[in-house]
């Protein structure tokens, strides 16, 4: 693993003005200005902690609405599964086997191929105690990593705030393909940016408007004043950074957004991941990215819709992996999925599934040790409401990501320690 240098002592304006957004390794910075090809895409950011001086990147994909784990990682020969889901269990017939017992949905061909290459870790049975079946309540638990509901800030927002100096580097944390800050990234101390569509991310009216707006939003009074000012300053910094990164990036894979997929406004996953790839390979210093695919709340006529969603997911992540691999950057990126809950073990009478509990978390990337982790849910032991129990606390997954991948001291983020699931390769 390359140990990229921390870039300390450079103000954000100097940084942008000097054109050192990328191509600036330690030597380059010492010289003041240089483009060094082999560190072209090295993460350039200022670290607050020693351990986090590395070039590793995390991409979180939210599967919003509650992804059905049992239709994603499918029991291949489980009569109980077929009893509980007379219609949906047909998916087992076409599933792509992972081992004798488990298979991936036939829609996940790209992921299955990566699994075969040892680059996919699937942690089964991930959940938390006394699970909530409210979308919003459970999303909050996953976002704040706090089932007691006391924490306000997001686990990734805290990670950014405590570990990276984001002044002038709004792209250290970036939500792609959306317009608001996702809860997982929220932290008043963390500067991060939100980019819905990179092509339109500029001020109409150019420099003059850019400058005037910067002046307008200075020391804004009132309860939202700091929030406004930070958002505008971040927008201006982001405009400057995207301008330079766009010139340096040509996608090396085919991303396509499925326009037929109208279940959710959050369906620009391919475009969002393409932007993520651009930010990674052009060395903007990005560390934590968040994208969302919606439409997983499949209460009704689930089968086609869920398969289409998974196929779309599969297409988008495959393109993303191909792209960053072609750029030689796949050794530093881990992609992880999360969803507020899985779905009820029993299908309902409208050929859908209601809100459930534990489900698998899927992670992929070169830093991952492939395989099945955790413990598959026991369909013979449902709780009185018809839900599976959880086997792995979701914070065991988060802590492994933070500690073993990003190099963050996870004790700073979590009050409790959980046994890490060892899906990240040890150096």
Partner 1 sequence: MVEQVVTRRTVLAAAAAGGAGVAASRLLAAAAPPARVPVPVTGTQANAMGLDWVSPLENTPAKIAHLLRRTSFGYTQAELEQSVSDGYERTVDRLVDTKIAEPPAFPNGDNASRGQPLKIGELQKWWLDWMLASPTPFAERLTLFWHSHFTSDFRKVGAQSPFMYWQNLTWRKMALGDLRSMLYQVTIDPAMLDYLDLGQSNPRNPNENYARELMELFTMGIGSFTEEDVKAASRALVGWRAPRTEQMVKAQVEESIKRTGNPPPNVPKSDTSRVGVFERNRAVQGGITFLGQTRQWDTQSVIDRILEQESTAPYLARKLAVQLVTPTPSDAYVSQLAETFRRSKYSVKDVIRQIFASPEFTAPTAYRSLIKSPIEYMLSAAKALGNPALTSVVTASGPGMGMTLFDPPSVGGWPNNESWVSSNAMLTRVNYATAAVQQTRKLPPSGNAHEVQLDAVLGPPTLRLLNEAGDERRRWMLLLASPEFQLK
CB of 220 to partner 1, least distance (A): 5
Q: Which helix (H) or strand (E) holds 158?
A: helix 155-163
Of 177 and 360, nearer to partner 1 (C-beta) is 177
CB of 195 to partner 1, least distance (A): 6
Distance of alpha carbon 282 from alpha carbon 291, whole angstroms: 19
- Residue with structure tokens 């390794």? 25
Of 116 and 386, nearer to partner 1 (C-beta) is 386
CB of 260 to partner 1, least distance (A): 12
CB of 90 to partner 1, least distance (A): 18
CB of 156 to partner 1, least distance (A): 15
- Interhelix angle 269-281/225-247, rounded to 10 degrees, is 80
Distance of alpha carbon 424 from alpha carbon 56, whole angstroms: 12
Vertex 248 angle, CA 247 and 249, to 5°: 100
Of 332 and 355, nearer to partner 1 (C-beta) is 355
Dihedral pair phi/psi, residue 342, rounded to 5° = -85, -160
CB of 404 to partner 1, least distance (A): 30
Residues that bind partner 1 in the complex, under the rule CB under 8 A = 64, 132-137, 170, 175, 178-181, 193-197, 200-205, 209, 212-213, 215-228, 231-232, 234-235, 238-239, 262-266, 294-295, 297, 299-301, 346-350, 352, 354-355, 385
Q: In this structure, what DSSP letter does residue 342 have?
A: -
Of 152 and 369, nearer to partner 1 (C-beta) is 152
SS3 content of the chain, % helix, strand, coil (to 5): 40, 15, 45
Q: Which helix (H) or strand (E) holds 307?
A: helix 302-326
Encoding tokens for residue 17? 């003005």
Dihedral pair phi/psi, residue 270, rounded to 5° = -65, -45
Distance of alpha carbon 193 from alpha carbon 389, whole angstroms: 37
CB of 188 to partner 1, least distance (A): 10
Of 153 and 410, nearer to partner 1 (C-beta) is 153
Distance of alpha carbon 168 from alpha carbon 20, whole angstroms: 12
Of 270 and 275, nearer to partner 1 (C-beta) is 275
Of 134 and 417, nearer to partner 1 (C-beta) is 134
């Amino acid at each position: 693993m390359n140990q990229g240098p921390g870039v300390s002592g450079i103000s954000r304006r100097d940084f942008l003005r000097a054109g050192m957004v990328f191509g600036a390794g330690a030597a380059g910075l010492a010289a003041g200005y240089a483009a060094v090809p082999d560190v072209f895409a090295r993460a350039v950011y200022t670290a607050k902690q020693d351990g986090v001086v590395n070039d590793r990147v995390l991409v979180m994909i939210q599967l919003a609405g509650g992804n059905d784990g049992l239709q994603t990682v499918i029991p291949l020969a489980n009569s109980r599964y077929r009893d509980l889901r007379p219609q949906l269990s047909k998916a087992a017939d076409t599933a792509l086997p992972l081992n004798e017992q488990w298979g991936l949905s036939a829609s996940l061909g790209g992921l299955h191929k990566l699994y075969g290459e040892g680059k996919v870790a699937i942690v089964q049975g991930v959940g938390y105690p006394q699970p909530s079946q409210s979308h919003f309540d459970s999303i909050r638990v996953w976002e704040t990593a706090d089932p007691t509901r006391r924490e306000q800030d997001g686990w990734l927002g805290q990670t950014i705030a405590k570990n990276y100096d984001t002044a002038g580097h709004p792209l250290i944390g970036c939500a792609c393909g959306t317009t608001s800050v996702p809860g997982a990234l929220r932290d008043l101390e963390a500067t991060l940016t939100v980019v819905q569509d990179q092509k339109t991310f500029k001020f109409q009216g150019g420099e003059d408007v850019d400058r005037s707006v910067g002046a307008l939003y200075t020391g804004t009074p009132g309860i939202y004043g700091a929030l406004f000012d930070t958002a505008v300053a971040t927008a201006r910094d982001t405009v400057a950074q995207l301008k330079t990164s766009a010139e340096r990036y040509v996608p090396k894979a085919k991303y396509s957004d499925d326009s037929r997929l109208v279940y959710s406004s959050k369906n620009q996953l391919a475009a969002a991941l393409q932007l993520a790839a651009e930010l990674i390979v052009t060395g903007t210093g990005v560390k934590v990215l968040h994208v969302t695919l919606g439409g997983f709340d499949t209460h009704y006529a689930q089968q086609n819709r869920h398969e289409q969603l998974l196929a779309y997911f599969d297409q988008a992540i495959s393109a993303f992996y191909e792209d960053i691999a072609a750029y030689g950057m796949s050794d530093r990126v881990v992609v992880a999925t999360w969803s507020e809950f899985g779905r009820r073990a029993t299908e309902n009478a409208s050929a859908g599934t209601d809100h459930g509990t534990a489900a698998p978390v899927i992670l992929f990337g070169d830093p991952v040790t492939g395989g099945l982790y955790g413990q598959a849910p026991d369909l013979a032991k449902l709780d009185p409401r018809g839900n599976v129990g959880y086997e792995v606390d979701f914070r065991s997954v988060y802590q492994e990501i933070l500690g073993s991948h990003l190099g963050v001291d996870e004790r700073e983020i979590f009050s409790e320690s959980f046994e890490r699931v060892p899906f990240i390769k040890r150096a």
